[in-house]
Amino acid sequence: MDGARFVRIFTQIKVMKVKINDFVVGGAKLGTYLSYTDVEPELMVMKPSDRVLPAPFFYEKNLWFHLIRQWLPGENRLFPNGGFEVRDGGGGVRNYDADQVCLHPAIIKHKKTLDKMLRRAEKAQAARERAAKRGSKPPKVKVEGGRRGRPALDPAVKAARDAAKTERSVRSGGKRGRPASTVVRVVSAETKPAGKRGRPSLTSEVIAQRVSQKAATRVRTGGKRGRPKSARR
């Protein structure tokens, strides 16, 4: 297994950890050993001949181990809490405690692939069954010369509709919509005041006042328009 694939598989493990434990015999520490903690439940479901991963070889990429047997608690006096018998790649047999072996994550990925292939096969089989069921239906018979669309009305229903239509036409005089009213309405003509439209004309007093003001302005300015020139230089 190449390094990139190995890292990609193990990055999917979110909870499991590798723990370093003290190996104590008779109260004296003789060394350390590795074990697993918080293992995902799917990594603990295994059967003989499955590829497994012992904790002491967790960081090894190219080694293969296969399960021979699994001991439950009390079945082997050397492993009171349960254990595993594993065969390595060279044919040797190794024994581990119950917390030192798990299913190799590559097997989980392989099982998911197999499940996906199985589901794909089941979908294909269901599609074939649906196609066979559709093929067992009798084919539709095409009527030559037949008309498409809504079927023709029953003659009695058609005659009743025509009679009702004729009756409405006679009652309305052949005209559609609401009949014209026979009541004569008297419309009063609107009276408008006489005179011109727009601003009312000025009175003679106002006209005379404006003329006098205009003459006084002309005398004051000398008949020139605009601001007078300044005398300062």
Per DSSP, the residues of the chain read --HHHHHHHHTT--S-EEEEEEEEETTEEEEEEEEEES--GGGG---TT-EEEEGGGTT-SS--EEEEEEEPTTSBTTBTT-EEEEEETTS-EEEEETTSEEE-HHHHHHHHHHHHHHHHHHHHHHHHHHHHHHHHSPPPPPPTTPPPSSPPPPHHHHHHHHHHHHHHHHHHTT--SSPPP-PPPP-PPPP--SS-SSSPPPPHHHHHHHHHHHHHHHHHHTT--SPPPPS--
- Establish if 15 belongs to a structural domain: yes
* pLDDT tens figures, 95-139: 898 888 888 877 766 566 656 666 777 788 888 888 887 776 776
- Establish if 53 belongs to a structural domain: yes
Which of the four pLDDT bands, split at 50, 70 and 90, describes residue 6? very low
Is the per-residue pLDDT at 191 higher than 70? Answer: no
Number of domains the chain is built from: 1
- Establish if 11 belongs to a structural domain: yes
pTM (predicted TM-score): 0.39
Is the per-residue pLDDT at 26 higher than 50? Answer: yes
- Establish if 35 belongs to a structural domain: yes
| Average confidence score pLDDT of the chain | 78
Which of the four pLDDT bands, split at 50, 70 and 90, describes residue 3? very low
- Establish if 104 belongs to a structural domain: yes
Q: Which domain holds residue 84?
A: 3-108
- Establish if 183 belongs to a structural domain: no
Q: What pLDDT, on the 0 to 100 scale, is given for residue 9?
A: 45
